[in-house]
Protein backbone atom coordinates (compact mmCIF):
# COMPACT_ATOMS: atom_id res chain seq x y z
CA UNK A 1 0.00 0.00 0.00
CA UNK A 2 1.37 3.38 -1.02
CA UNK A 3 0.57 6.99 -0.15
CA UNK A 4 0.06 8.81 -3.46
CA UNK A 5 0.83 12.45 -2.66
CA UNK A 6 1.22 15.03 0.08
CA UNK A 7 3.62 15.21 2.98
CA UNK A 8 3.91 11.40 3.23
CA UNK A 9 4.10 10.87 -0.55
CA UNK A 10 5.73 7.61 -1.57
CA UNK A 11 5.59 5.93 1.84
CA UNK A 12 4.89 2.20 1.53
CA UNK A 13 3.30 -0.14 4.06
CA UNK A 14 3.31 -3.90 3.64
CA UNK A 15 -0.16 -5.34 4.16
CA UNK A 16 -0.11 -8.80 5.76
CA UNK A 17 -1.27 -11.54 3.39
CA UNK A 18 -3.77 -12.73 5.99
CA UNK A 19 -5.87 -9.55 5.69
CA UNK A 20 -9.39 -9.84 4.31
CA UNK A 21 -9.60 -6.13 3.42
CA UNK A 22 -9.00 -5.04 -0.16
CA UNK A 23 -7.31 -1.63 -0.19
CA UNK A 24 -8.56 0.84 -2.77
CA UNK A 25 -6.24 0.53 -5.76
CA UNK A 26 -3.66 3.26 -6.28
CA UNK A 27 -5.27 4.08 -9.64
CA UNK A 28 -8.77 4.50 -8.14
CA UNK A 29 -7.44 6.33 -5.08
CA UNK A 30 -5.42 8.81 -7.14
CA UNK A 31 -8.35 9.51 -9.45
CA UNK A 32 -11.00 9.97 -6.75
CA UNK A 33 -8.71 12.35 -4.86
CA UNK A 34 -8.21 14.34 -8.08
CA UNK A 35 -12.01 14.61 -8.36
CA UNK A 36 -12.27 15.62 -4.69
CA UNK A 37 -9.85 18.50 -5.28
CA UNK A 38 -12.61 20.13 -7.34
CA UNK A 39 -15.04 19.91 -4.42
CA UNK A 40 -13.04 20.54 -1.28
CA UNK A 41 -9.71 21.78 0.01
CA UNK A 42 -8.40 19.02 2.26
CA UNK A 43 -5.88 21.30 3.97
CA UNK A 44 -6.95 21.68 7.62
CA UNK A 45 -10.20 19.82 7.01
CA UNK A 46 -11.75 17.14 9.22
CA UNK A 47 -12.51 13.69 7.89
CA UNK A 48 -14.29 10.51 8.87
CA UNK A 49 -13.11 7.24 7.29
CA UNK A 50 -15.67 4.47 7.82
CA UNK A 51 -14.80 0.80 7.25
CA UNK A 52 -11.14 1.87 7.18
CA UNK A 53 -9.76 -1.58 6.36
CA UNK A 54 -6.01 -1.15 5.85
CA UNK A 55 -6.16 2.60 6.50
CA UNK A 56 -5.18 3.49 2.94
CA UNK A 57 -7.73 6.33 2.68
CA UNK A 58 -7.01 7.54 6.23
CA UNK A 59 -3.29 7.82 5.46
CA UNK A 60 -3.96 9.59 2.16
CA UNK A 61 -6.27 12.10 3.89
CA UNK A 62 -3.59 12.81 6.50
CA UNK A 63 -0.89 13.16 3.87
CA UNK A 64 -3.02 15.68 1.97
CA UNK A 65 -3.34 17.94 4.99
CA UNK A 66 -6.43 16.93 6.97
CA UNK A 67 -6.07 18.28 10.48
CA UNK A 68 -8.09 15.44 11.98
CA UNK A 69 -9.17 12.03 10.69
CA UNK A 70 -11.38 9.65 12.61
CA UNK A 71 -10.78 6.12 11.33
CA UNK A 72 -13.37 3.48 12.24
CA UNK A 73 -12.55 -0.21 11.71
CA UNK A 74 -14.06 -3.27 13.39
CA UNK A 75 -11.41 -5.90 12.63
CA UNK A 76 -8.82 -6.12 15.41
CA UNK A 77 -5.86 -6.90 13.15
CA UNK A 78 -6.74 -4.18 10.64
CA UNK A 79 -7.17 -1.67 13.46
CA UNK A 80 -3.76 -2.60 14.88
CA UNK A 81 -2.21 -2.25 11.41
CA UNK A 82 -3.65 1.28 11.11
CA UNK A 83 -2.24 2.16 14.54
CA UNK A 84 1.18 0.84 13.50
CA UNK A 85 1.13 2.90 10.28
CA UNK A 86 0.23 6.03 12.26
CA UNK A 87 3.11 5.40 14.66
CA UNK A 88 5.52 5.08 11.72
CA UNK A 89 4.29 8.42 10.40
CA UNK A 90 4.58 9.93 13.89
CA UNK A 91 1.22 11.69 13.58
CA UNK A 92 -1.34 12.52 16.24
CA UNK A 93 -3.88 13.85 13.70
CA UNK A 94 -5.79 10.56 13.53
CA UNK A 95 -8.02 8.92 16.08
CA UNK A 96 -8.28 5.23 15.16
CA UNK A 97 -11.42 3.69 16.63
CA UNK A 98 -11.91 -0.04 16.79
CA UNK A 99 -15.61 -0.62 16.59
CA UNK A 100 -18.75 -1.22 14.58
CA UNK A 101 -19.46 1.59 12.10
CA UNK A 102 -23.22 1.47 12.69
CA UNK A 103 -22.79 1.79 16.46
CA UNK A 104 -20.35 4.63 15.94
CA UNK A 105 -22.80 6.44 13.66
CA UNK A 106 -25.59 6.18 16.25
CA UNK A 107 -23.55 8.12 18.80
CA UNK A 108 -21.55 10.43 16.51
CA UNK A 109 -22.28 14.12 17.13
CA UNK A 110 -19.45 15.69 15.13
CA UNK A 111 -19.68 17.08 11.59
CA UNK A 112 -16.94 16.57 9.01
CA UNK A 113 -15.73 18.21 5.82
CA UNK A 114 -15.39 14.81 4.22
CA UNK A 115 -16.86 11.43 5.04
CA UNK A 116 -15.46 8.44 3.21
CA UNK A 117 -17.06 4.99 3.44
CA UNK A 118 -15.73 1.79 1.86
CA UNK A 119 -17.86 -1.02 3.28
CA UNK A 120 -17.49 -4.63 2.19
CA UNK A 121 -19.31 -4.82 -1.13
CA UNK A 122 -21.41 -7.77 0.12
CA UNK A 123 -22.58 -5.94 3.26
CA UNK A 124 -26.37 -6.26 3.39
CA UNK A 125 -26.76 -2.79 4.98
CA UNK A 126 -24.65 -1.15 2.24
CA UNK A 127 -27.63 0.53 0.48
CA UNK A 128 -28.68 2.25 3.74
CA UNK A 129 -25.36 3.99 4.40
CA UNK A 130 -25.96 7.21 2.39
CA UNK A 131 -29.25 7.77 4.22
CA UNK A 132 -27.54 7.21 7.59
CA UNK A 133 -24.89 9.81 6.81
CA UNK A 134 -27.51 12.46 6.04
CA UNK A 135 -29.94 11.46 8.81
CA UNK A 136 -27.11 11.89 11.33
CA UNK A 137 -26.17 15.25 9.73
CA UNK A 138 -22.48 14.26 9.59
CA UNK A 139 -21.44 16.68 6.86
CA UNK A 140 -20.55 20.31 7.36
CA UNK A 141 -22.47 22.66 5.01
CA UNK A 142 -19.94 22.37 2.15
CA UNK A 143 -18.88 18.84 3.05
CA UNK A 144 -18.81 15.85 0.75
CA UNK A 145 -19.56 12.16 1.25
CA UNK A 146 -17.57 9.68 -0.86
CA UNK A 147 -19.04 6.19 -1.01
CA UNK A 148 -17.08 3.32 -2.51
CA UNK A 149 -19.23 0.41 -3.66
CA UNK A 150 -19.57 -2.36 -6.21
CA UNK A 151 -21.10 -2.01 -9.66
CA UNK A 152 -24.38 -3.57 -8.53
CA UNK A 153 -25.50 -0.41 -6.74
CA UNK A 154 -26.86 2.78 -8.29
CA UNK A 155 -27.34 5.78 -6.03
CA UNK A 156 -28.10 8.31 -8.76
CA UNK A 157 -31.69 8.78 -7.52
CA UNK A 158 -30.61 9.65 -3.98
CA UNK A 159 -31.55 13.28 -3.18
CA UNK A 160 -27.98 14.18 -2.16
CA UNK A 161 -26.24 12.41 -5.07
CA UNK A 162 -23.86 14.58 -7.12
CA UNK A 163 -21.90 12.24 -9.36
CA UNK A 164 -20.62 8.74 -9.96
CA UNK A 165 -17.09 7.73 -10.94
CA UNK A 166 -15.90 4.29 -11.96
CA UNK A 167 -12.28 3.11 -12.08
CA UNK A 168 -12.14 -0.50 -13.18
CA UNK A 169 -14.20 -2.50 -10.69
CA UNK A 170 -14.17 0.35 -8.14
CA UNK A 171 -17.19 2.64 -8.06
CA UNK A 172 -17.55 5.88 -6.16
CA UNK A 173 -20.74 7.83 -5.60
CA UNK A 174 -20.37 11.38 -4.32
CA UNK A 175 -23.02 13.13 -2.24
CA UNK A 176 -23.51 16.64 -0.81
pLDDT tens column, 93-152: 999 999 999 999 999 999 999 999 999 999 999 999 999 999 999 999 999 999 999 999
Q: What pLDDT score does 21 carry? A: 73
Distance CA 157, CA 136 (A): 20
| Interatomic CA distance for residues 52 and 21, integer angstroms | 9
CA angle 173, 27, 139 (to 5 degrees): 35
Q: In this model, does residue 74 exceed pLDDT 80? A: yes
Report pLDDT digits (tens) over 21-63.
777 888 999 999 999 999 999 999 999 999 999 999 999 999 9
What pLDDT score was predicted for residue 52? Answer: 96
Mode of pairing for the β-strands spanning 139-149 and 170-175: antiparallel
- The pLDDT value recorded for residue 35 is 97
- Predicted confidence at residue 24, as pLDDT, reads 84
Q: Identify the helix (H) or strand (E) that includes residue 58.
A: helix 56-63
Predicted confidence at residue 18, as pLDDT, reads 86
Segment 152-160 mean pLDDT: 96
Task: Tell me what pLDDT residue 169 has.
Answer: 87
Amino acid sequence: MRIITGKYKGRHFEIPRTFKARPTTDFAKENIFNVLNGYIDLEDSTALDLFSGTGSITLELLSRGCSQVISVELDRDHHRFIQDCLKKLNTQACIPIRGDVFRFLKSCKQQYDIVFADPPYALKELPTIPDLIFEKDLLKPDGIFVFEHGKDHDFSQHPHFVEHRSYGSVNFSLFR
